[in-house]
Structure 1
Amino acid sequence: MTRVFPFSAIVGQDEMKQAMVLTAIDPGIGGVLVFGDRGTGKSTAVRALAALLPSIDAVAGCPVNAASEAEIPDWAQVEDRTIVSKPTPVIDLPLGATEDRVVGALDIERALTRGEKAFEPGLLARANRGYLYIDEVNLLEDHIVDLLLDVAQSGENVVEREGLSIRHPARFVLVGSGNPEEGELRPQLLDRFGLSVEVASPNDIDLRVEVIRRRDAFENDHATFMQHWDAEDSALRARILAARETLKTMKTDDAVLRDCAELCVTLGSDGLRGELTLLRTARALAAFEGANAVTRQHLRSIAASALRHRLRRDPLDEAGSTTRVTRVVEEVLA
């Protein structure tokens, strides 16, 4: 089987890699939206993320990756109920996927051969406790977007059709990538992503040379290349697991909460999702860096990722969203 390119070996794109690592530490941050030109490593990073993520404990034969026998849905016929360690699921949602493939539907084969009404799980069931990846997310059909919005809000997939009434948990981190030249993302779905990052082709010659060098080594000296970078990925995985433990005791002063609120009010972001995402992301970053408490520097480091996609359009301000966030951060956190 062909190995994916190691996450740690990706050159540059630090903001994108940081966002993905932080959602691995705290999935409650929400999804990651990666917008940029073709050939900038968006899909490569998501594939590499699957190999990087720590494993999960789940019932071996459960279609929704239940953590224990008690969590297995009533409709699931699970013969092997052994608790095993398995890779964190990273599931692709193709642009042409039908609604039945996404949410699940009647198992036609069992209906025809046995005359039984049985549920065939969809992609949302497989993505539970993991990641759901959508390439070219801005081209996703509207009715599929509506489905994802409902499930992302409730954490549960509900299927009512063909005489079936099915419910199952569907808690996943949504990762989307796209090219902004091919269309904008619906505001309702855009707001569901916890973090938004922008990627671009590097202009630095030395950086581009390093990209070529590593890709060439991956293809032509695979064993040696993977031996080195597997060790790097293992070290990063260990840091993620340590950060998850640190996160449980992370301290946050009221001054940091006030900073979060002031940043969002000054930027004019709608609702309170901006403050909550800022706080969770800053806490995850602090845990990843081994700090005991969140500081203003942590807020500075993640403010653009957490807020750039939550800004109202200002026709009188021609600056990009990243520039606007950076400007307000300098004013508020001076």
Structure 2
Amino acid sequence: MNAVTESAHQGSAQKPAFPFAALIGQSALQQALLLAAIDPGIGGVLVSGPRGTAKSTAARALAELLPHGQLVNLPLGASEDRLIGTLDIETVLRDGSVRFSPGLLAKAHRGVLYVDEVNLLPDALVDALLDAAASGVNTVERDGVSHTHEASFVLIGTMNPEEGELRPQLIDRFGLMVELQNCFEPRVREQIVKARLAFELDPAGFRAGYAQQQAQYLERIRAAREALPRLSFDDALHAHVSALCIDAAVDGLRADLVMLRAARALAAWDLADAVTTQHVDSVVEAVLVHRRRARGATPGSSEAGQRVSSADSAEPGPLQQDSEGGDSDWGYLPAQPVGTTHVKGVVPLPLKKR
């Protein structure tokens, strides 16, 4: 796609988006996306998986839950100027004023920047969008002239590992990663297909059935964002995070920082009074799956870069209560082996009545 697209609103000419609340079998992905929506400073979510695993559907669904409900696509052929914007140097020389033409980073502010096949982008573009995702600002410099603007967005990059991997130095800069697998559970496949057919037959009617749950998601994200500044980390929590990251033999300190931020976002979602080790253990897999490396491995290498996942060692999350009070097993993502490191599994984020 070569044009910026926005997620559908009620009354918009755009095709309506599949509701986030209606996603089936995507608990790990839903959790990662919600955490990034609560705290975009986490640095974005990398979603790896084969074709047809609802990667783009989930990205569009999340966009509706953000303040401006905007989804901006970064096409593969985009130039750096189109991504970060341009400065009119002639105007500066002529009258001393800076004329800035915004790029896709500016358009994505307060929304979702979606990059399909991010592993096929030039490294320079990946660097630029990751810088903006982590800092929340974008700076354009030309011939000694600079312009800075806000660029706080949820970065979602997707890739099919069959088409190549990101360099370890880049993959590490994504805050969270989720590895999707094909679903081979008949009951779950049937539920997914039935939901998709119902949505295609009557999008408005299908979305109406999830309107209340969607509204609850909106309110919970808003409340969680407000709660973030009130949550801090005690020494015991720092020690727990450090131990996990050391055991995973990660490079640098980015994993520690992301793990703390993700745990805080989960605590905010839970409306908890404090960030606990349980919150840390619930986000650890998404933080470490692309950073964990074997003892003695060369710096910069990771198990994700070697196409080895650790999801199989994770314990399955418990059944969650859906908004109607019934059992709702969202996850079909199978576990995957991880060498010698074992961590607790991802715990889905069910809606809780306040």
**Fold shared, TM-score > 0.5 on shorter chain:** yes
Q: Report how far residue 13 of structure 1 moved.
A: 1.0
Q: Which residue is equivalent to 1:280?
A: 261
Contact 1:243 1:284 in 2 (8 A): yes
Written as runs of structure 1 = structure 2, the 5 A alignment for 1:131-146 is 131-146=112-127
Is 2:252 the partner of 1:263? no
- Distance between the aligned counterparts of 1:124 and 1:206, measured in 2? 41
Structure 1, unpaired ranges of 5+: 56-86, 111-115
Alpha carbons 1:35, 1:198 under 8 Å: kept: yes
Distance between the aligned counterparts of 1:240 and 1:40, measured in 2? Answer: 25
Deviation (angstroms), 1:169:
3.1
Pair 1:325–1:262, CA change in 2 (3 A) = farther
* 1:310 aligned partner: 291
Q: Distance in 2 between matches of 1:137 and 1:88?
A: 22
Are residues 96 and 241 of structure 1, via their aligned partners in 2, closer, same or farther at CA, if it must alter by over 3 Å? same
- CA gap of 1:313–1:201, structure 2 versus 1, over 3 A, is same
Alpha-carbon deviations, 1:190-212, whole Å to 9, x = none? Answer: 12211000112221111111111
CA distance in 2, matches of 1:326, 1:227: 47
SS in 2 for 1:270: coil
Q: TM-score, normalised by structure 1?
A: 0.79
Q: CA RMSD of the aligned region, Å?
A: 2.8
Shift in alpha-carbon separation, 1:126–1:325, aligned structure 2, 3 A: farther
Partner SS for 1:329: coil
Q: Which of 101, 110, 127 lines up with 2:108 in the alignment?
A: 127
Matches within 5 A, 1:161-310: 161=142, 165-310=146-291
Inter-partner Cα distance in structure 2 for 1:158 and 1:250? 30
CA contact (8 A) 1:103 1:123 kept: yes
Whether 1:31 aligns to 2:44 is yes
Q: Which has the higher helix share?
A: 1
How far apart, CA to CA, are the structure 1 residues paired with 2:192 and 2:27? 14
Shift, 1:130, TM fit: 3.2
Give the distance between the partners of 1:327 and 1:255, measured in 2 at CA. Answer: 21
- Give 1:270 shift: 1.1
Unaligned runs of at least 5 residues, structure 2: 1-12, 92-96, 298-302, 314-337, 345-354
- Percentage identity across aligned positions? 51
Residues 285-294 or 151-160, more deviating: 151-160
Count of residues paired in the alignment: 293
CA offsets, 1:167-187, max 9 Å, x none?
A: 333333321001011111122
TM-score for the superposition, normalised by structure 2: 0.74
Tell me how far 1:163 sits from its aligned partner: 8.7
- Identify if the C-alpha distance between structure 1 residues 314 and 140 changes in structure 2 by more than 3 Å, giving closer, same or farther: farther
Q: 1:103 aligns with which of 58, 63, 84?
A: 84
State the 1:263 CA deviation.
0.5
**What displacement does 1:44 show?**
0.3
